[in-house]
A and B are shown apart, each in its own frame.
Chain A
């Protein structure tokens, strides 16, 4: 088994220490950063997403896979610039104001990171202004909003309205998720997409960011 195959397996299995060690070894062996990232990590997280969707993998396993990848990514990241690697895009993500539920949001950001995106996680209880400021500062292509409470769902609309007012809606796509969220609600408030779960959410992010690149 090649070292990248081994890394791929270790990410899927969520072996955090091993992924870190293999990342170092791969670099020592002179393997390209891009190859390590794409074959060892992103390809593995693709499998994780597929297995989650088909019911073979579960949330805790998905999280440790994400954490394992992050350990490797932390070593690779400082080398991105000199290797000419650009993230797939930048995603600003947070749970909307008034809502402190973090698990779903963190899961989604982990999967997005696993798909090669740069993640700016604003945490929970994030105001529309904070979203707007962060999108501006980071030049983000996508805003991900999470809400678990029906009482905080209107803050998703308020955030989209604030982005519109700031003149950012032609530069950034919006994606919403959370237990009470539906496609119907996404359509109603003018969100570009809705992710019923983290794995589907990542697919949507890829689609939306590609569409944005194609249009711009």
Chain B
């Protein structure tokens, strides 16, 4: 469903032509000489300042090679995700955060490897979180932690997994790990059980590590989420329109490069335009304008190249799971979802990408459940209108035991796990707990009770031996 259009037809056209203009005239600075040569051969013009300029027809032809349908495979095929126009909406948590709110002490600290395990178990159990990311732990080697977290996720969730790799070589190690689970390159290509995220560095720069990640991912058919975090007023024009455009252009530039390097490579459009807080210099992501930017970008992509989109939704700039966090994430999750995004992400995080909180993750599971419910809509026909039921009950009766009620009451309404409902007395008798307490209890219960389906012993052994070789 796609019921919200924030842009007019003329505005889409203006943004699109401005994008093509920027890609051609201003271009993308490409650090890798090897990549510059490939781009030049494909028809880009590379100038003396290492900047590649992409003629409009090259952009059009190249991005058209990107598949509109991308599969995010999972250890358990029942969790396979299909990203396609008009498809279901999916959700994932934030990737890459280094801070963590301890479930027991309720205090902030740096993330540990044991949190990665907990995080995967929580995602595995939470029914509205569709795939998994990880906190980046500080108690392992910092240079290889991107690789080290992958087997931990694979062991603790049957759902698809996303990693943010530090280099192309790291992607090769990740592929090795994934092969241990999937058996063959062919199977992995068909149902890639992990995807990688890489970034364009604003404004308009492709660093060598990022193009290396693109090359390695494309080679193995691993889906690539292309990210831009242009900051309004810092690394992008300050206006809503300006930063919306630049981060869109940057992701398109990344898409062009990825498709020139590996034609047909599965890619996902994933901009995260930010706003500089001019008092602190911090890059904000939870402003109400962020929500408008995301809606505009989804519409823009849908009405031009129509590749899958992953927008930031569950976002917040506050430091704890509080009311501000709820306000910001509901606005930001709802608008791009209504615009028709394939993925809305960011669950569990606070503090503009720095910190993950398992309590917030459990709450986001409800927010995204409600979002999915909105997108599901409601059917209108004689049965759902209850015409027969109304005739049966008639004036003055009630519907409690009517067949129509029994048929629909369980499925028609979204049922949150952790909301306070009922009467004040009921609430008092249960200890007067608020949303956060309810969520904390559910998180603890999941970690106590939920046992993700284990990997076969020989696979676990192989994963461990690959990690051991890292030293």
The answer to whether A and B belong to the same complex is yes
How far, in whole Å, are A58 and B233 apart by their CA atoms in the complex? 12
Chain B, 321-364, contact with A by CB distance < 8 Å: what is the 0/1 string? 00000000000000000000000000000000010000000000
The answer to whether the Cβ of B279 comes within 8 Å of any Cβ in the partner chain is yes
Chain B, 268-301, contact with A by CB distance < 8 Å: what is the 0/1 string? 0000000010111110000000000000000000
With A60-B233, A151-B142 as contacts: A103 and B278 at CB distance below 8 Å: no
Query: Please, which residues of chain B bring their CB within 8 A of the CB of A180?
Result: 354
| Contact of A150 with B98 in the complex, beta carbons under 8 Å | yes
CB < 8 Å: which of B98, B142, B281, B354 contacts A197?
B281
Query: Please, which residues of chain A bring their CB within 8 A of the CB of B282?
Result: 179
CB < 8 Å: which of A55, A104, A179 contacts B279?
A55
| Contact of B278 with A58 in the complex, beta carbons under 8 Å | yes
How far, in whole Å, are A59 and B282 apart by their CA atoms in the complex? 11
The answer to whether the Cβ of A107 comes within 8 Å of any Cβ in the partner chain is yes
The answer to whether the Cβ of B237 comes within 8 Å of any Cβ in the partner chain is no
How far, in whole Å, are A104 and B282 apart by their CA atoms in the complex? 10
How far, in whole Å, are A80 and B439 apart by their CA atoms in the complex? 65
| Contact of B98 with A59 in the complex, beta carbons under 8 Å | no
CB distance from A13 to the nearest CB of B (A): 17
With A103-B281, A150-B98 as contacts: A59 and B142 at CB distance below 8 Å: no
The answer to whether the Cβ of B234 comes within 8 Å of any Cβ in the partner chain is yes
Query: Please, which residues of chain A bring their CB within 8 A of the CB of B278?
Result: 58-60
Query: Please, which residues of chain A bring their CB within 8 A of the CB of B142?
Result: 151
CB < 8 Å: which of B98, B138, B234, B354 contacts A103?
B234
How far, in whole Å, are A37 and B276 apart by their CA atoms in the complex? 32
How far, in whole Å, are A151 and B96 apart by their CA atoms in the complex? 12
CB distance from A62 to the nearest CB of B (A): 9
Main SS at interface, chain B: loop
| Contact of B234 with A197 in the complex, beta carbons under 8 Å | no
How far, in whole Å, are A65 and B142 apart by their CA atoms in the complex? 40
Residue of B whose beta carbon sits closest to that of A55: B279
Residue of B whose beta carbon sits closest to that of A151: B142
Q: Which of A14-41 contact B (CB under 8 A)?
A: none
| Contact of A58 with B98 in the complex, beta carbons under 8 Å | no
CB < 8 Å: which of B138, B281, B354 contacts A104?
B281
| Contact of A197 with B280 in the complex, beta carbons under 8 Å | yes
Query: Please, which residues of chain B bring their CB within 8 A of the CB of A197?
Result: 280-281
Chain A, 49-71, contact with B by CB distance < 8 Å: what is the 0/1 string? 00010010011100000000000
Query: Please, which residues of chain B bring their CB within 8 A of the CB of A59?
Result: 276, 278-279, 281
Query: Please, which residues of chain A bring their CB within 8 A of the CB of B280?
Result: 197
CB distance from B355 to the nearest CB of A (A): 11
How far, in whole Å, are A197 and B281 apart by their CA atoms in the complex? 9
CB distance from B234 to the nearest CB of A (A): 6
How far, in whole Å, are A63 and B282 apart by their CA atoms in the complex? 16
CB distance from B291 to the nearest CB of A (A): 23
How far, in whole Å, are A55 and B98 apart by their CA atoms in the complex? 29
Query: Please, which residues of chain A bring their CB within 8 A of the CB of B281?
Result: 59, 103-104, 107, 179, 197
CB distance from A55 to the nearest CB of B (A): 6
| Contact of B279 with A58 in the complex, beta carbons under 8 Å | yes
Query: Please, which residues of chain B bring their CB within 8 A of the CB of A103?
Result: 234, 281
How far, in whole Å, are A55 and B278 apart by their CA atoms in the complex? 10
How far, in whole Å, are A151 and B354 apart by their CA atoms in the complex? 13
Residue of A whose beta carbon sits closest to that of B283: A179
Residue of A whose beta carbon sits closest to that of B352: A179
Residue of A whose beta carbon sits closest to that of B143: A151
Max chain A CB contacts within 10 Å: which of B138, B281, B282?
B281
How far, in whole Å, are A58 and B234 apart by their CA atoms in the complex? 13
Residue of B whose beta carbon sits closest to that of A107: B281
Query: Please, which residues of chain A bring their CB within 8 A of the CB of B233?
Result: 60
Query: Please, which residues of chain B bring their CB within 8 A of the CB of A52?
Result: 279
How far, in whole Å, are A58 and B280 apart by their CA atoms in the complex? 8
Residue of B whose beta carbon sits closest to that of A179: B282
How far, in whole Å, are A180 and B281 apart by their CA atoms in the complex? 13
Query: Please, which residues of chain A bring their CB within 8 A of the CB of B98?
Result: 150
Query: Please, which residues of chain B bring their CB within 8 A of the CB of A55?
Result: 279
Residue of A whose beta carbon sits closest to that of B110: A150
A-B contact pairs, 17 of them (CB 8 A): A52-B279, A58-B278, A58-B279, A59-B276, A59-B278, A59-B279, A59-B281, A60-B233, A60-B278, A103-B234, A104-B281, A107-B281, A150-B98, A150-B138, A151-B142, A179-B282, A197-B281
Nearest 7 pairs of A and B residues by beta carbon: A58-B278, A59-B278, A150-B98, A151-B142, A59-B281, A103-B234, A104-B281
| Known pairs A58-B278, A59-B279, A179-B282 / 17 extra A-B pairs, C-beta < 8 Å | A52-B279, A55-B279, A58-B279, A59-B276, A59-B278, A59-B281, A60-B233, A103-B234, A103-B281, A104-B281, A107-B281, A150-B98, A150-B138, A151-B142, A180-B354, A197-B280, A197-B281
